[in-house]
Amino acid sequence: MTVQPPQQSTTGDDATATVLGRDGETERILRCVTREPGPARTLLVLGEEGIGRTALLRHVRERATADGVLVLAAQGWAEDPRHAPACLHQLLAPPVRDALAALPAAQQRALTAVPRADGELPAAVTALLDRLAASRPVLVCVDDADLCDRALPEALFAAARRLSGRPLTVLLAARHETALPGPPPGTEILRLGPLDGASAAALLDRQPAAPTGRHRLEILAEAAGNPLALVELGRGAPGPAKAVRHAPVEHTFGVRVEALPAATRRALLYAAAAGPGETVAAVMAALGTGDLAVWAPAEAAGLVVLAEDRFDFRHPLARSAAYLGRPAGERQQAHRELARTAVPPEARARHLAAATVGTDAPVAAALEASAWRHGDAVEAARALEQAARLSPRPPDRARRLAEALTAAHATGDPGWVRELYERLVQDGTEPEFGCAAAGALASALSHESAQREAFELLADASEHFPAVDRTLALALAGLAAGIAAQSGLPEHTAALPALLDRARRADASGRWRPAMAGPRARLDTPHTRRALTALVTAATTAGTAPRPRSATHSAAPAATHSAAFAGPVAAPVAGAVLAAVARQADEADVDLGQSRTADERLRAARAFGLRGWSVLPFVDTLLATGRFAEAQAVVEDAQTEAAVLRLPRLQADLETQALTVRALRGTLPPEPWFTPSVWRAVCLDENRATHARLLRARGLASLTRGDMEDAWRRLRDLFTADGAPLHPFLSARAVAELAVAAQRTGRSAEALPILDRVLADQGDRPSTRMTLLLHHATALAGPDGEAEQHFQLALVNHGAHRWPWECAHVRLNYAIWLRRCRRTREARQQLTTVLETAERLGAGALAVAAGGELRASGAAPAPAPACAGPLEQLTAQQRQIVQLVARGLSNREIGERLFLSPRTVGSHLYNVYPKLGISSRHQLRDLVRGR
């Protein structure tokens, strides 16, 4: 019996949504659909139940039909093997009746007779397909081919072998390759894997009454990217309007489980109840037997496999059926037995909790004590929430619920944070817990986009719960500083001193009640409190003269001291705080070292709620220091997390950073560059950091494309009409790019007041980086007689080597100035250095510009450096086609956009592949994406 994959869309005719997350697979299949005479092609699409084979094949059929391909489709029958011969009859639909009637009578009988003579079938199928493919391309598409009469795939494979001069493609989908007869040589095999995290989350969120919070994360983890499991488990999740488990779970995997011997069903229940890391030995001990033969029937049924010392269920719904199909009493007994044999304390506590009805103080205490044992924020939040549920005493329940809320905030799931916040507020709580709850909710609101609401929540908590706890008060002030940096609103920055003053009063009082013993408690050290104070102080002066180095150095012990004892979350938080202080002073070495370590640890802890505060500045610093490949990897990873957790503001910021990387690397994709649904959820007026990143990204993209007018418009908007920065920190760091656009468009006079304002804001001691940028900008926009002096001052600046891309950018513009002054030899020297730096950094746009200047200076053409990108050797139209192919468009779709025929597009690609040293669209997509 098979399981039909779900419709992956609730929007009717939205064909794109029906194959959510399968763009690459769709393109690969369509590449195999031959449209020209030649050897017939065969492709097998393999994947487990519910992985999306049917939806994918349906979409491919629609695309092929739209391209003028004759599609013959059939579906295997699961319910009754007697219907297997009907697969052939499905192929004989009305469009093929004329060709069928033209066949010899014997071949017609072989195709239509019931019962038929299978020995005559291959020749008859070959003759029919030969006739059909004589006039147009043909795609034979059979889903669940392993459930068809075996003679049909044999006949189709035979036809593919024999018809070498026809545009014929045979596409079969099945669960296992071994279920089909031997395919012809050269058959391509596409194995469908699980959906990626972002696509899985999007599919789950499209379901009616989709789950939220903890239940949503649990379903995403349990379904492991299987579309059917996402739909079915989503239907069974707790919540309003939720029904019991849907029939397919019970009538497919449940049937298989019920058909097993009682001892095997019991063993499967225990295996399903066991958590990650629990061994076969522990489960066997709980079962009270050492005979592994008890698993043989389940393995034979394809439900489970024993791999070394662990169990692997073959399908997410198999685990669900094995566990939920048993009565509650049996499940509780399984957990009690597993608790008896469990070795790790957190596993024992989890099983005892699952077996407990009502409250149980010892079990709640055990859950709380072991919650952070593995440093996983998701597991900690789940354990602490359960500990609160089991707590008989209201004070213990409130404390554990507050700890659960803090941990849920660390995970980054705003739905989970809201659920726990509402419960905590309803219960009524002590000031410490109210402050912690306000901080958690404010952080979630900020990640979503609501900076004003988040800041007001913190200000209100600070005012109504004064001096509750020295570390908590400083942490709230630090969070407020982060929100102020994101909003860029002057009123937020102006309110920070009052928040810091209240925190200092709490610190001076020495009040410390270890009511919350989680990671926040471990941050209560003088070093960490000093770092938080430095962070808030630096935020109050953002955009003006940077803090002296002593501020960073005084905070420096916080990270190393905390790392020695503070655990997997507290230590990277302390490091991120230090990195933020260093960033305000443009101290790249400290910033990078602390940011990189913090990012790695927070990622390992699944703490994207905390990582969301540090990952964007981390990427900004990576970009500023020329680490483009690392920046792109960090952005791509964070984009998946932000999409899974539904954090639109972070998604928007990451999209701007992704575009910035592409612009600097010279690998700009075609527009559109941004996701409309994400940006509709973001208010730019209260997210000026996001707005500034957007403007700079668009400005850099326009500079890369040579559209100087658009670059000027974008970069000019980083400052108000009177020259004030849109964002107090980020706007000033785009001043050199603004000057480039101003010079190229003849607007240097308009740029000068802005430069004067930025220079004044930096005070008497600008940072090394700002000194470099200001000299560069002044050389471009200031008096021409002073240009060389400013170029040279920018380059001899002590410590400027920490900003290699920006130094190379200075050299490029200096060389342009030198060439204009007819000092060609000196210009070439500068340009040679620029090319070397660009090649080392992978700065393709810079390399292309330097190469063009070298040629203009009369230098002998040199081979383009690797970083310039192989696309530079293509014509403009070929580059357009390549970029559209990389986005997943078919030849027909590309032709419609560029007013070309699909054949012309194919001809261009035929010429492009040898130039780029590749042979397929898949390789082309990776090349364009810089992989």
Domain boundaries, the chain: 17-191, 245-357, 626-705, 870-928
What is the model's pLDDT at position 880? 75
Place 835 in a pLDDT band, splitting at 50, 70 and 90. very high
Higher pLDDT, 627 or 178: 627
What is the model's pLDDT at position 477? 87
Alpha-carbon distance 122 to 132, whole Å?
15
3-state DSSP helix/strand/coil % of the chain, to nearest 5: 65, 5, 30
What is the model's pLDDT at position 545? 53
Find out whether 318 and 254 touch, Cβ atoms under 8 Å: no
CA–CA–CA angle 725, 728, 733 (5° rounding): 80
pLDDT exceeds 90 at position 110:
no
What is the model's pLDDT at position 534? 79
Lowest pLDDT segment from 62-66, 612-616, 772-776, 894-898: 894-898
pLDDT exceeds 80 at position 918:
no
| Cα distances (Å, whole numbers) of residue 384 to 151, 277, 359, 517, 684 | 58, 20, 14, 12, 36
Q: Which of 86-100, 153-167, 719-733, 893-907 has the highest mean pLDDT?
A: 719-733
Instruction: Cite the beta strand spans of 265-370 per DSSP E.
Output: 304-307, 310-313
Dihedral angle, C-alpha 256, 262, 264, 267, nearest 10 °: 120
Higher pLDDT, 549 or 763: 763
Rg of the Cα atoms in the chain: 32
Domain 17-191 has what CATH class?
A: alpha beta
Reported as half-sphere exposure (CB side, CA atoms, 13 A), residue 27 has a value of 18
User: To which residue do tokens 């996402």 refer?
Assistant: 230
Enclosing H/E stretch for 75: strand 70-75
What is the model's pLDDT at position 516? 52
Alpha-carbon distance 592 to 614, whole Å?
11
Number of C-beta neighbours around residue 725 at 10 A: 24
Residues 6 or more apart whose CB falls under 8 angstroms from that of 287 comprise 266, 267, 270, 294, 337
Over residues 137-149, the mean pLDDT reads 90
What is the model's pLDDT at position 510? 55
Percent of the chain with pLDDT over 90: 55
* Per-residue pLDDT tens over the stretch 717-751: 999 999 999 999 999 999 999 999 999 999 999 99
Alpha-carbon distance 917 to 922, whole Å?
13
Position 779, amino acid:
A
Structure tokens at 723: 């020259």
pLDDT exceeds 50 at position 3:
no
* Per-residue pLDDT tens over the stretch 22-58: 988 998 888 888 777 778 889 999 999 899 999 999 9
Structure tokens at 687: 């997210």
What is the model's pLDDT at position 639? 95
Over residues 572-576, the mean pLDDT reads 87
Place 303 in a pLDDT band, splitting at 50, 70 and 90. very high
pLDDT exceeds 60 at position 554:
no
Find out whether 388 and 354 touch, Cβ atoms under 8 Å: no
| Cα distances (Å, whole numbers) of residue 588 to 405, 576, 582, 620, 912 | 34, 13, 7, 11, 41
Structure tokens at 493: 């920055």
Mean of all residue pLDDT scores within the chain: 85
What is the model's pLDDT at position 500? 85
Over residues 598-627, the mean pLDDT reads 95
For residue 90, give the 3-state DSSP assignment. helix
What is the model's pLDDT at position 786? 94
What is the model's pLDDT at position 306? 86
Higher pLDDT, 433 or 662: 662
Q: Beta 168-174 vs 310-313: how paired, if at all?
A: unpaired
Find out whether 139 and 69 touch, Cβ atoms under 8 Å: yes
| Cα distances (Å, whole numbers) of residue 854 to 810, 834, 835 | 16, 10, 10
pLDDT exceeds 80 at position 549:
no
pLDDT exceeds 90 at position 791:
yes
Alpha-carbon distance 438 to 580, whole Å?
22
Alpha-carbon distance 643 to 684, whole Å?
19
What is the model's pLDDT at position 9? 42
Over residues 274-301, the mean pLDDT reads 90
pLDDT exceeds 90 at position 769:
yes
For residue 43, give the 3-state DSSP assignment. strand
Place 917 in a pLDDT band, splitting at 50, 70 and 90. low
Structure tokens at 899: 């007013």
Buried/exposed 825-859: b ≥16 CB within 10 Å, e otherwise? eebbebbbbbbebbbebbbbbbbbbbbebbeebee
User: To which residue do tokens 């692997």 refer?
Assistant: 312
What is the model's pLDDT at position 724? 94
User: To which residue do tokens 């169990």 refer?
Assistant: 311
Alpha-carbon distance 778 to 330, whole Å?
77
Tell me phi and psi for residue 42, to 5 degrees.
-125, 145
Q: Which residues sit opposite 650 in a β-bridge?
A: none
Q: What is the CATH number of domain 870-928?
A: 1.10.10.10
* Per-residue pLDDT tens over the stretch 492-532: 999 999 888 887 776 665 554 544 555 555 555 666 677 77
What is the model's pLDDT at position 690? 97
Percent of the chain with pLDDT over 70: 85
What is the model's pLDDT at position 571? 82
pLDDT exceeds 70 at position 820:
yes
Enclosing H/E stretch for 385: helix 377-390
Q: Is the peptide bond before 672 cis (omega within 30 degrees of 0)?
A: yes
What is the model's pLDDT at position 875? 67
pLDDT exceeds 50 at position 162:
yes
Alpha-carbon distance 138 to 168, whole Å?
5
For the residues of 818-867, what is the DSSP string, one character each?
HHHTT-HHHHHHHHHHHHHHHHHHT-HHHHHHHHHHHHHTTPPP-PPPGG
Over residues 556-583, the mean pLDDT reads 66
Q: Which residues sit opposite 45 in a β-bridge?
A: 173, 190
What is the model's pLDDT at position 120? 81
What is the model's pLDDT at position 489? 96
